[in-house]
Amino acid sequence: MNKSCLKKFEENLAYHFSEKLNYPFAMPHWIYISLSHRCTYNCQMCGVVKILQGYELPFKIVKDTFDTIAHWRWDCVITLTGGEPFLREDIFKIIEYGVKKKLKIEVISNGALINKGVAEKIIKSGLRNIAISLDGAREETHDHIREKGAFKKAVRALQYLSAAKKQFGRGPQISVWTTIMKENVAELFDIIELVRDIGVECLVYHPVIVAQDDMQNTSPDAPFWVRGDNIRVLKEQIDKIVDYRDKYGLVAFLHDPYLWIKYFENTLTKDDWKCNPFVFINIGPDGEIRSCGSSFGNIKDIGLDACLTTSLADVARAKMKQCTRPCLQTCWARPEADYLDEIVNTFIKDLNQELLPEERKRIVVREALMLLDKYEKLIKNRLSLS
């Protein structure tokens, strides 16, 4: 177990009460930073290239943001994305600074610019995870969605990365991200076979979202939407993938994969999947923090810390809470922090598994009680004031 059970309990409590009391006790776990919206491709399912053209997040702002995040001492994962992050000339400078600050940095790329030299640089950089997007097991599918030659470039990038990792004996986790859509629904399982041979360590699937800006606007009439017969195909594929995962691992599920079917059938409700507005933030290339189309504030103006407590942020979070159609993206939820009973049960379960002397365990439980006391006192104070 990497994280001690008390730390995990503390974080889960913070996320739980942040959501209940509408106050950021918890810092965001996933921080996406779009360095710029420039991209090598103009993919069909992604409209990012067309919005906020010409904006680049300056290195100084990124640096300040990293400083702030390092100061939190919170378990955060920073994902550098774009557009294509490797189009930025200072990308390695940014990664280097983040690693220096002991932050967990990930990069999502399409692999178009990763040649042998870049791959070696990436492996040496101290990244935690490098994710390459791969949308099909066959060349035609991937190239149809993205651009001609994209498949070869992506596969080559993966090969370079795994070769470099073998050479140096260490490096980031190499993972592949696949967007589930109508075009590739029949090939989902085949992707496993393709990437397994290359040396990929993790494969993540996530369903397509239609509107980039406003995620609540997932229209079933949209192109790429899996519907009709394809849903049956998707179900078969999920069965195969789950089966494979149980035997060999490799695939990482961020939620129950059978929710994808509900998602595409438009029957997914709040009860199945709940967003916690305090788990994720997305910083755009203009410095604006946006989530589900609403803005928190601009980090260029007031800094990251202040952005999290603006009145705008309250409004945005309230809007996210009212969302009736969850988008099943990789970011929003913290299902383990939804219910207090579950948090406590998980804590006790984890504690029993830990190899600690009985006396130490009692101390840990007492500290957990103190944490609960803190929140209880806060709420009771509030009650007595009103």
The b-or-e profile of 196-230 (16+ CB within 10 A means b, else e) is: eebebbbbebbbbbbeeeebeebeeebebbbeeeb
Using the structure block, give the residue that is written with the tokens 């360095």. 35
Rg (CA), the chain: 21
The alpha helices in 131-228, defined as continuous H runs, are: 139-145, 150-168, 188-198
Q: Is 22 in the site for another protein (CB under 8 A)?
A: yes
Which residue's CB is nearer to another protein, number 202 or number 302?
Answer: 302
Q: Is 67 in the site for another protein (CB under 8 A)?
A: no
How are strands ordered across the β-sheet holding 294-298? 251-252, 202-207, 173-180, 129-133, 104-109, 77-81, 30-34, 280-283, 288-291, 294-298
CA 370 to chain centroid: 31
Least distance (Å) between residue 314 CB and another protein? 8
**x/- site string to another protein, residues 321 to 350, per CB under 8 A?**
-------------------xx-xxx--x--
- Tell me which of 2, 311, 322, 324 binds another protein, using CB under 8 A: 311
Which residue's CB is nearer to another protein, number 193 or number 376?
Answer: 376
**Beta-bridge partner residues of 281:** 31
Measured on CA atoms in the order 166, 96, 55, 300, is the torsion positive or negative? positive
Q: Is 7 in the site for another protein (CB under 8 A)?
A: no
Least distance (Å) between residue 119 CB and another protein? 40
Q: Is 269 in the site for another protein (CB under 8 A)?
A: no
**Beta-bridge partner residues of 51:** none
**Which window, 55-63, 111-119, 228-236, 359-367, contacts another protein (CB under 8 A)?**
359-367
**Which window, 82-90, 135-143, 252-260, 370-378, contacts another protein (CB under 8 A)?**
370-378
Interface contacts to another protein, rule CB under 8 A = 20-23, 297, 301-303, 306, 310-312, 315, 340-341, 343-345, 348, 358-363, 365-369, 372-373, 375-376, 378-383, 385-386
